[in-house]
Amino acid sequence: MSDLSQKIRTALFVKLAVSNVTSLATGGVHYRVAPANTNRPFLVFDRQSPGLVNYNFGFTRTHEDDLWQIRAVTDEDSSVAKSPQSLGEEILNAAITAIGLNLTLPDAVTWAVLRVRDIPNYTEKVSDRIVFHQGFLLRVVAAPV
């Protein structure tokens, strides 16, 4: 992972780990995996699809263009008032609002921070219940300054 991606990772976490998101995703926000003792619902994010690192003619890096995945993980026990499907959507909406259209990066700027597509929803079984995964891909174009 490049230094720029590390900065994006930190900036995304700062944007996502706010009360508007964590009041819904009570298990918190985690990079790639959640700790074993974390109860759902929670939010995970990861750099799903690293893009090309772009250079100018002098081989100076100009920008990086990556897709990040932001995914809500809920299960049947996550809420007694909402379905896990609805709760997952609410978490994602809160995440989209929280991220906004830019990230604050040290020694770098974002040229684009855009939700470009949703991921296909999928489910899996853990012990005696169904876990629901819903998420979206976020395109982040960032350039060092």
Partner 1 sequence: MNRHFLDHYGEREVPRFFENLMVRGATDQITIYREQTESDGAGGMIKTATAGLAPQSIPCLIRGDNVKDGSKYMAADQMTSIAPYMLTFPLVYCDKIIDVRPSDRLKAAAREDLPARTFRVVSIKNMGVRYEAYCELENAL
Residues that bind partner 1 (CB under 8 A): 30, 32-40, 42, 44, 71, 73, 75-77, 79-86, 124, 126-128, 131, 133
- CA 145, CA 136: separation in Å to the nearest integer? 28
Q: Do 131 and 78 touch, CB atoms closer than 8 A?
A: no
- Which residue, 34 or 109, is less far from partner 1 as judged by CB? 34
Residues 6+ apart with CB under 8 A from 55: 61, 62
Find the shortest distance in angstroms from Cβ 122 to partner 1: 11
Find the shortest distance in angstroms from Cβ 70 to partner 1: 12
The backbone region for 118, taken as left when phi is positive above 0, alpha when psi lies in -120 to 50, beta otherwise, is: beta
The residue count for the chain: 145
Find the shortest distance in angstroms from Cβ 28 to partner 1: 11
Find the shortest distance in angstroms from Cβ 118 to partner 1: 17
